[in-house]
Amino acid sequence: MKKYREFIGKYYESLHGACLSAGLLLLADSFWVLHWPPMLLIGGAVLFSLLFHYAVKKNAVLPAGFILLVLHLAIFIFFHLTGREFGILLPYIQIEAACLGASVLCVTAAGHLFMIIPILLAELACLIYYGIQGISLSKWSICLVFFCCLLFLAEAAGQKRGIKKQDIFFLAPLFFMCLLFICLLPVKNTPIRWETVRRAADAVQEKANALLINLDHFFSGTSDTYSLSRSGYSSKGTLGGSLIQSDNPQISVTGTQTKSPLYLAGTIYDTYDGSSWTPEEPSGREKGKEYLEQYKSINESLSVSGLSDEEIRSLSHLCTMEIKFEGLKTKSLFHAPNTWKFQLPSSLEAESRGGNILLPKAKGVGFSYSLQFLELNYNSEDFQRLLAVTSGSQRDSARRSRIVKNCTALPDDLPRRVYDLAEELTMGCQTPLEELKAIRAYLAGYQYSTTADAPAEGQDFADSFLFDTKTGYCTSFATAMAVLGRCRGIPTRYVEGFATDRTCSEDKTEIHLSGSNAHAWAEAYLEPVGWVPFDSTPGYASGAGSAWEAESVDDSDTPIPTGPGSSGLVTGTEDHSTGSAGDSGTMEGIYTNLLQVLLKLLPIILLLAVVCLMAAAAVLFRKFMRHRAYVSMSSYEKILFLMDRLFLLGRLSGISFEEGETLLEYEEKAAGALDTPETALTEIFRMFREIRYGGQKASPETVSLLKTYVHSLETQYLQSCSRTKRLLYCLR
């Protein structure tokens, strides 16, 4: 180690100067596009730096310069005598002159720290300028500049602490090896895309998001079926209350471009009790058939409708969609109206319960499936002709009887004025379709707001919305639509899910639906087609009520709410927080938002935890090794060790043992300040002098006494110092 120190100390300034000069030369080569070989410049800088440094040490600068001049003259004479052209030497002479000048400047500067500063600032300024101007730069020059910066910082820090320059020699090889490794890494002209790292980061993010969703699902205490969690619902499922916006991703859809806004039902509710909706629980042979019965009814109606093939094609549109869960966990399978086929993973089989389609077990982030459904142009003349078809099958009759029984019931205490309003709105209408359109048009004139008041205790929700508040969001409009339809004897039901019109303009493109796309609407049963969606929420009603190929016209009399993620007709006009999106308006929402904040901080927390664990392990290992070494010491070595601890505690207490100070002088200075209740400092120093200079043998009793004193002094210091100093002392 001593030989290494002497060797590096001998050539440090020349090597430091060589690095500075090589960096300058490479920067100059890049700026003037000289096309000088980088390795030749570096080699020349090292060679001339060593020669100049050696000449300075030997006081032989002039003789060295004279020898160099003679060598050049000899080369010129040789070229002249052999008839060679001197032009061949010109590039090498330029390189030599540049290397010599840069080496003299930088080696001289390397011996004086203040002279290095302007050179480094110039090199760093060049790097910044080259980056702005897009000037091509050798990676060797970047590494050399940063290597010199590290050496300068280490040398400046050592000088500030009064440490000689040679003490940084041990850092120089470490700096050099690190930068050499970076320099040897392959470099392309194009930026690194980090695809593998990005994919890994996406995978980690997806897993972390899945963990968040699973935790929220576990602690929320909600059912496994999908619902607009607290978006229009209280914790008990009661309608009403304010709505909190959320843009957390929920699902993504990819598939066929649709001709009308896409409605994806999550949960369908049949029973209304005046304050909430509950889903149907079918039993017996009714179980598991509803969505297939719906599709069969449409097929049979089309087959006997008398419509031509061209009219049927203009009326219907077969679509395929792939749905992926991104931010929720539920048993509900989202499906479009008139869905007739699901494609699930081979190990799963869905079950239909009324209009709801459920998985055996709740699925979370990453689960995907596809479905096929038949899109109908509900606002065309051909659809009205289809409704005129009479179905006489016994199967349709039994199904209709069950639907009428379950989906026309209303609370006995529903105010009479609700029935009167329904009758007034539909006066003059000839068909159920006309009645429903009249109700939808009337409700579209109500005001949309996310801060609607809840009804008074005991008051019917629909009655409160229709006559008192006249303000609400999708759950209010959907409930009113369904209740008014039932008042006219039309079977209706309430649906919660997602709605978007982006599928009308994008084909085979993945569309992400967030909490702002969560929605509620009503469906009405119209013979012989079956269930038809009716959306009366302002901003949605115009889209749902437009025929294909026709532009939607927004109702200018009603304000259309917009929010983040809005993209035209439907998307973003209603902002909901679904169950897994996290509604910050309730305790469950606050809990979910807290989890999301923790998720964002998770990488930092994990990194800090790892660093803390490693630091704790290092401290414990150091203490273990120190204790192990202490146990193996002799009594005299233990006394020396404990005296070092004593001087350390004295320095921490503001009483340092100065260089050249004797024990007696230190004893007089520290007397009283370093005394403990059991032992005085003078007694400890007397005992130490007898052992150190008096020839007295160190005994275990003496070690025990000194150890007790140091421990007491340590306790005394820890009780008097701040918590920060206490922590720093424990880490020693």
Q: Which comes out higher in pLDDT, residue 524 or 504?
A: 524
DSSP assignment of 516-561 = GGEEEEEEEEETTTEEEEE--STTTHHHHTPPTTS-----TTS---
Which comes out higher in pLDDT, residue 158 or 464?
464
Q: What is the pTM assigned to this prediction? A: 0.52
Q: Which residues on neighbouring strands pair with residue 322, listed in sequence order?
A: 254, 370
Q: Quick one: pLDDT at residue 7? A: 64
CB 222 within 8 A of CB 579: yes
Over residues 247-256, the pLDDT tens digits come to 778 899 999 8
pLDDT-derived band at 372 (thresholds 50, 70, 90) equals: very high
Percent of the chain scoring above 90 in pLDDT: 13
Q: What percent of the chain has pLDDT over 70?
A: 75
User: Is 581's pLDDT higher than 50?
Assistant: no
Task: Give the range with max mean pLDDT: 44-48, 230-234, 481-485.
Answer: 481-485
pLDDT-derived band at 420, boundaries 50, 70, 90: very high
Report residue 717 as tokens.
């210091």
- Check residue 478 and give its pLDDT: 92
pLDDT at 728 over 80: no
Question: Is the per-residue pLDDT at 113 higher than 80?
Answer: no
Whether the ω angle into residue 455 lies within 30 degrees of 0, i.e. cis, is no
**Residue 393 confidence (pLDDT) above 70:** no
Q: Which of 125, 483, 572, 8 is nearest to 273 (CA)?
A: 483
Token readout for 679 is 């032992």
Categorize the per-residue pLDDT at 495 as very low, low, confident or very high, splitting at 50, 70 and 90: very high
Mean pLDDT of 519-536: 90
Listed range (144-148, 318-322, 622-626) with the worst mean pLDDT: 622-626
CA distance 570 to 357: 25
From 388-402, 530-544, 590-604, the region with the lowest mean pLDDT: 590-604
Q: Which of 543, 563, 434, 422 is nearest to 480 (CA)?
A: 422
Report the chain's mean pLDDT, rounded to a whole number: 78
Question: Would you say residue 443 has pLDDT above 60?
Answer: yes
Q: Which two tokens stand for residue 621?
A: 């290992």
pLDDT tens-digit readout, 66-103: 888 888 888 888 888 888 887 787 788 888 888 888 88
Q: What is the pLDDT averaged over residues 320-334?
A: 89
Helix (H, G, I), strand (E, B) or coil at 473: coil
What six digits make up the tokens of 215? Answer: 């935790």
d(CA 491, CA 401): 10
pLDDT above 90: residue 13: no
The pLDDT-based confidence of 582 (bands split at 50, 70, 90) is: very low
Is it the case that residue 6 has pLDDT exceeding 90? no
Asked whether 326 and 212 are in contact (CB, 8 A), the reply is no
Residue 583 has pLDDT above 60, yes or no: no
**At 343, is the secondary structure helix, strand, or coil?**
strand
pLDDT tops 60 at residue 394:
no
Confidence of residue 574 (pLDDT cuts 50, 70, 90): very low
Report yes or no: 439 and 477 within 8 Å, Cβ to Cβ: no
pLDDT at position 562 is: 37
Query: C-alpha 287: how far from its chain's center?
Result: 43
How far is Cα 209 from Cα 602, in angstroms, rounded to an integer? 11
Reply yes or no on whether the pLDDT at 210 is more than 70. Answer: no
pLDDT at 678: 83
Mean pLDDT of 460-484: 91
Tens digits of residue pLDDT in 561-572:
333 333 333 333
> Of the candidates 373, 355, 371, 559, which has an alpha carbon nearest to the alpha carbon of residue 449?
559
Mean local confidence (pLDDT), 278-282: 75
Cα-based distances in Å from 616 to 610, 645, 725? 10, 22, 17
